[in-house]
Structure formats: structure tokens, C-alpha cells
Amino acid sequence: MTETISFPVTRTNKTKIQDVDFENLKFGATFSDHMFVVDYKDGKWGQGEILPYDKWSFDPSMAALHYGQAIFEGQKAYRTSDGGVQIFRPLANLARFNQSAVRMSMPEISEELFVGGMTQLIQIDQDWVPKKEGSSLYIRPFMVATDEFLGVRTAEEYRFAIICSPVGQYYSEPIKVKVEKEFSRVAEGGIGNAKAAGNYAASLYPTKLAQKAGFHQLLWTDAATHSYFEESGTMNVMFLIGNTLVTPSIGSTILKGVTRDSVLTLARERGVTVEERKVSVFEIIEALKSGKLIEAFGAGTAATIAPIAMIQEDGVDYHLPPIEQRPFAAAILKDLNDIRTGKAPDRFGWMMKIV
């Protein structure tokens, strides 16, 4: 990747990096010095630019605030073992971002703006990529409707931006989850397979109730019958039953996770049978009772691999084997981390070198 900066750049007058404790990073709370911004108007994207990270001003009638046209992505840049920096699967995130844009009636964005803007932003803020093992630079590309208009219609103006945040681990321990059968996050034919802000808003209240009860996350079930698993909050969910890795198949209610796809690829490489299909709550609970469920974990950009320690269904707690007896997820996590940090060959062409 060339180091030439093709977008106009306004550098910050004073870096904030000296105020950051890179040994104790709270997820999503600290932001790097710069951001990439470009506006859509009159049917086309304008000139992208890199600016100092700062607050925005907007009109109270801004369309995204009233009608929810807001989408985003989540991805990461990693410090490699030789001191370089590389991004994990940016083209996969771009493809999903544009799928979300189409579903939310928003304009698609080009590779030049999405990947080019991201690349140059990270080149400038490369010192913000943590060196500590297990840490990374979280990248948040997002788009919002900026029309100053009250009326239910597709907006005509948008802003796309990229901001970055140095982060540590999302979950510091194996998680406890509850099977959610009262509330629904999304429904068939809705926007569940778009990474839209509204999907997460719908999940906040039920998740808050679960967290007050001592759980980390929910295992969401289908809205029609609450009989089949879908996602787990910020992650896709996977179950290892014997030597078969089972995960809900992608559809209109389940996000097409980039980490999900990566885990399935690594599992197949290891000779593990992979089944992408409907996964019933009954099946998993029976596998738990019989001891056939060996491992369960979430997979997502923020969490990477999050082992599930306990699943509660209808008020009954089902505990999985201790973490030290679950080698599969640990091995997959090591595979992913080694590829991302350059300790292992990038045999799938997943990484994009930045510096």
C-alpha cells in the first residue's frame, strides 16, 4: 500500500496520545487524533478529507435523528510482530457496509473512499495502534443521513466518516448468557442483516435487564417462535457438538459476520465439520444435558472469540466445561491472532498492510 496521501489532510495542532494509558484501555472510550470525513450531496460523494478528531454541529432536524438512517462497520488494525500495521479483511467490511446501505436506502460508497480513507487515516495515526498483545486499533466507519428536513422519505444528503479507538479486550472473562424468549431484536424481512443503528437500539433494554440479573449478554431467538437461536448481542454464536461446529445460517435476521466467516474457514481447514443451519434451543439444551455440547462461544470483531461459560434457559442454568477443557476456540483464537499480527502466514489473503 502506497504511503502517498491523496486526500487533503489537516493535522491536529496537539496530539492527545501522551494522555493515553495503553496498558489499561477501556473499549471504545479513547479516540485517535484524526478522522476521515466525506459528504454526499446532489447525488454524488464529494471530496474526502482527513481532519482533527472533533465534535460536529448539526441541525435539530437532521434526518438520522428522526428516521434512523444510520449504519456502521467495525473492524480492527493490528500491530505486527515486526512493528508494522495491518488491517483485517477491509474489503469484506466494505461489501457488508454497502449491503447495509442498500437495505437502508442509503448511497453505496467506493473502495477508494472506504479503504483509501481508512488506510491514509491509519498511516497518519499509526502510533495509536497498540503494541500490547491482545490490543488493537478499533476502526469505526459509519454513515448518517444529514438532511435538514422533517418528513418520512429517503434522505438526499449523507455524511460518511471513519474514527479510530485503541482498545483492549471486549470481555475480560468467559461470559454468562440468557436465552431471550420475551423480547425480539429483529424479525424476518426486517433489517437484521444490516449493521444498522436501530438494531442495536432495540437490544439495549432487554440486555440491560439481563445484565442487572448477572448476565453478560443475551442469546437472541427468532421473533416468530423463540425456538431458534440467532445472535448473541455483539456476536454471532457457535456451538461445537462433538466434532461438528454448528452456527445459525445467515438470513434476513442475522448479520453476516466477518469474524464468523473467518472462524468457519479456519474450522474447515482443521477438518472440523461445519453446519450452517437453523439451530434450535431444544437441540442445544439437550446437548448440554447429555454432555455432547463441548464448546459454545461468540465470534465478532469487538469480542473476537468470547467463550460462553453458562447458558440460562427458562430460569435453569447450564454450565459448560471449564475453559481449560475447551481447546477448539482457544486454537481458533490463536490462529486468528497469529495471522493478524504476522506471526503466521496470511494464507487466506485476509490482511492489508498499511505501514
Whether the predicted pLDDT of 286 surpasses 80: yes
- Report the chain's mean pLDDT, rounded to a whole number: 95
The pLDDT-based confidence of 172 (bands split at 50, 70, 90) is confident
* 1 pLDDT higher than 70: no
pLDDT for residue 54: 97
Domains of the chain as residue ranges with CATH: 17-168 (3.30.470.10), 175-340 (3.20.10.10)
Q: How far is CA 12 from the centre of its chain?
A: 28
Using the 8-state DSSP alphabet, how is residue 253 labeled? T
- Predicted TM-score of the model (pTM): 0.95
The secondary structure of 178-240 as a DSSP string is EEE-S--S--TTSSTTS-BHHHHHHHHHHHHHHHHTT-SEEEEB-TTTS-BB-EETTEEEEEE
Residues 6+ apart with CB under 8 A from 3: 123, 355
pLDDT at 2: 41
22: pLDDT confidence band, cut at 50, 70 and 90? very high
C-alpha cell recorded at residue 176: 454468562
Locate cell 470525513: which residue? 37
Determine the average pLDDT of the residues in 273-286.
98
Rounded distance between C-alpha atoms, residue 318 and residue 287, angstroms: 10
| Contact status, residue 267 vs residue 239, Cβ threshold 8 Å | no
% of the chain at pLDDT higher than 70: 99
Tell me if 295 sits within 8 A of 243, measured CB to CB. Answer: no
Share of the chain above pLDDT 90, in %: 95
Tell me the pLDDT band of 317, cut-offs 50, 70 and 90.
Answer: very high
Instruction: Give the three-state DSSP class for 312.
Output: strand
Q: Is residue 5's pLDDT more than 80?
A: no
Query: How far from chain centre, in Å, is Cα 331?
Result: 21
Q: Dump pLDDT digits (tens) for 145-167.
A: 999 999 999 999 999 999 999 99
Q: Angle at which helices 327-340 and 258-269 pack, to 10 degrees?
A: 110
Instruction: Label residue 4 by pLDDT band (50, 70, 90).
Output: low
Q: Which residues contact 297 (CB under 8 A, 6 or more apart)?
A: 237, 238, 305, 306, 307, 308, 329
Predicted confidence at residue 122, as pLDDT, reads 97
